[in-house]
A and B are shown apart, each in its own frame.
Chain A
Amino acid sequence: MSILIDAQTTFIVQGITGREAVNLTRECLDYGAGAKIVGGVTPGRLGREVHGVPVFDTVAQAVAHHGAAIDGSVVTVPPAFTKDAVFEAIENGIKLIVIVTERIPRRDVAQMVELATLRGARIIGPNCLGMIVPDVVKMGGIGGPARNAAQAYTPGPIGVISRSGGMTTEMSSTLSAAGLGQSTAVSIGGDAIIGSTYAELMPLFEADPQTQGIVIYTEPGGRMEAELARWVTENESRLPIVAFMAGRFMDEMPGMSFGHAGTIVEGKADTASEKIARLAEAGITVAERIEDIPGLIAEQMQARGTPTTAAAQGGLS
């Protein structure tokens, strides 16, 4: 099992004729069982094809051509056009939208998320690489070309949630090397306001029988770690969580943003040290180094009675 997507998920790519989108389409088609990309949209390019995927002027045309509802969309259009593209996807019945685009003002993101919520749709991102179900399907640039993605991601019991796209792969690769595969890895994006936070994805992992533990990558800026800590405490989650906090040096440099737009520290609660304290209070283990993560999560899964391949092999200390 997985969360959000599986081998049957149909999706389109909005902005499909852009250079990065062409690559992303190839990667998704090549990975696992091959993503079911049923169309692409670039206004004015009706009738073209990208790696065999038909291109349309509008999302409505793509839906009509497919002849049934389309599950998802990967949005790769420039920041000034993203809100319109996402509204178009939502109003055409699409329920899962991955926004790759960076540098979208917060107000636009908040408007997209609010409309999505009203229509029962979910947004992942913006400023993210999408998600991957190892060996099955990927939706977005996560992990890169199929060959590279296969090197880092393996199927298994760990759900991965990360504010950094690159670090999603780095952490998953480290888990894979220790014999701990992933159920689904989600790059949630590095902006101050995003469609799906840790706490909003937790119920999905909680309901997924394959998932036995969660690994998250976090940064200074924003309050979504406190939101996760609250969720874990209030819902008595069955899943152990190990978190890695990058950007600890930023605590000495208030008001400056590094790495992602969302890392700006606007108050005391946004600092790395405060977040580490909040997470620890909720029983979430905060790893000092990436290479410590597999041992820590395996230990906690064992403590909760989940045998792991890695632990069974004695490969972890």
Chain B
Amino acid sequence: MRFFEYEAREIVKRAGIPVTDFGFATEPSQAREIAQRIGGPTVVKSQVLTGGRMKAGGVKFADTPEEAEAYARDILALEIKGHMPRGVLIDPKAEVAQEYYAGVVWDGPRKQPVMIFSPVGGIDIEQVAEEQPDKVGRRHFSNILPFSEFMAKEVIASTGVTGGALNKLVPILTRLAKVFVENDMTLAEINPLGQLADGSFVALDAHMDMENEARGRHAKLLADLGVGSEETRQAREATPFEIAGEEVDAQDHRGVAGNVTEFDGNLGLVIGAGGGSLTLFDAVRAHGGKPANYCEIGGNPSVAKACGLAKLVLTKPGVDQIAVMMSIVSNTRVDIVARGVIKACLELGYDPARKIAIFRIPGAWEEEGFKILEKYGVEYADRSVSLNEAARRAVEKIQGVAA
């Protein structure tokens, strides 16, 4: 879960890392008040969860509080890559002597966090790593041994930074590593980390991502920051269709029938499980099909949940037919899913044989499932028909219907 810049900076500040005297505003008048308090030139920055703010006109430099107010008014109304800003951040315009980079991320294959440090900041660290590899230091640290300052010292020194700068940077990087670990972050980054004319350092921007699975154990921090439990902070906001999918899945605790993502095609998908859904979605598209949605069923959901999901997909505007497909199941019961999707058709007044383009779920309780499908004349396939072939048949059928 990604944090807005103003939240990330607050986290950095709470950790004892020096920050500028910034403020957050949702109204232009608040922006003026903050600029007045700061005194002197300010930067007005759009608070959106997407990159490219500068290019889009979401960052402006103001000389007076009145100018800050005017810029805030413009930026608050400016949509950037489909995102409306949460507010604006008002920052004193700092006189920076040099920009540094400090970050902590996970190294998946190594299974440890890695600190990344560079005396070249303000730009994308991946670009620095490509162009000036000797200017990027990396150091992994243990998950179970306590973090110790020498680790931060080593990574900073490895980039050639020494003297007073080294000694001032060590506590900053140490605190950043602790922020990462203690808050279950997947990314904790200060970029740029500005060195001022007097040699001191201050965080000028911060980027934080918290692992979704760990949100439950940071309830206090999230409440303090005003992050609501309903905020998914995904790459895009959930649509009403997707929220309805969550409701279907939440109706009971048996298995999964949800994780719905909306697309704009005509072929509704009731698919599973995790890997099967990915494979099937690719296969439908490879055959020229247009999925109306992505979803996942698995873990043996109840008839009610399978029915609810099928109904949701069947009633989505533009959906002609649904394809019910899964990789071979061993936990989920074929007959239960079959019952659920047929019930959905019948309750909506549809003929299952007409509405279900194909049913391809082999595995546990398949004989019982296939018997039910046969009774209603639904086309089904066993494991001898590949996921790819099932997807092809579904696409062929719906294209015939649409023609």
Contact = CB atoms under 8 A, between A and B. Distances in A.
Interface of A: 20, 23, 79, 103-107, 109-111, 113-115, 118, 141-145, 148-149, 151-152, 162-167, 169-170, 173-174, 177, 190, 192-193, 197, 199, 217, 219, 222-224, 226-227, 244, 246-250, 253-256, 258-263, 266-268, 289-291
Contacts of B364: 144-145, 148
Contacts of B259: 258
A113 B234 contact: no
Interface in B246-276: 259, 261, 272-276
Interface stretch (B337-345, B381-389, B394-402): B381-389
Contacts of B296: 259
Interface string B366-387: 0000000000000000011011
A64 to B, nearest CB: 27
B118 interface: no
30 contacts: A23-B331, A105-B211, A107-B214, A110-B111, A113-B143, A114-B112, A114-B143, A142-B330, A144-B331, A148-B330, A148-B363, A148-B364, A152-B328, A165-B275, A167-B275, A169-B327, A169-B363, A170-B327, A170-B328, A246-B282, A247-B279, A247-B282, A248-B282, A249-B282, A255-B234, A258-B277, A259-B277, A260-B274, A266-B187, A289-B388
A115 B144 CA distance: 8
A170 B276 contact: yes
Interface SS of chain B:
mixed
B298 interface: yes
Nearest to A261: B213
A170 B330 contact: no
Interface residues of B, number: 54
Of all A-B residue pairs in the complex, the 7 with the closest CB atoms, nearest first, are: A144-B330, A164-B275, A255-B235, A167-B275, A247-B278, A105-B214, A246-B278
Contacts of B75: none
B386 to A, nearest CB: 4
A113 B111 CA distance: 8
Given A141-B331, A290-B388, A291-B386, A162 B275 contact: yes
B329 interface: yes
Nearest to B331: A144
A166 B279 CA distance: 11
A105 B285 CA distance: 33
B294 interface: yes
Given A106-B186, A224-B108, A247-B282, A259 B274 contact: yes
A290 B386 contact: yes
Interface in B68-113: 106-109, 111-113
A289 B279 CA distance: 9
B10 interface: no
B263 to A, nearest CB: 9
Contacts of A103: 213
Given A107-B184, A166-B298, 17 more contacts: A105-B214, A107-B211, A107-B214, A145-B330, A145-B364, A162-B275, A165-B274, A166-B274, A169-B327, A170-B387, A190-B275, A192-B186, A222-B109, A223-B107, A224-B109, A256-B234, A263-B278
B148 interface: no
B17 interface: no
Contacts of B184: 105-107
A279 to B, nearest CB: 15
Contacts of B106: 106, 110, 192-193
A244 B280 CA distance: 13
A293 B158 CA distance: 46
B289 to A, nearest CB: 12
Nearest to B216: A80
A226 B108 CA distance: 11
Nearest to B145: A114
Given A256-B234, A261-B213, A289-B388, A197 B330 contact: no
Interface in B142-175: 142-144
Contacts of A170: 275-276, 279, 327-328, 387
Contacts of B276: 164, 166-167, 170
B281 interface: yes
Contacts of B186: 106, 192, 266
Looking at B298, B331, B384, the one whose CB has the most chain A CB atoms below 10 A away is B331
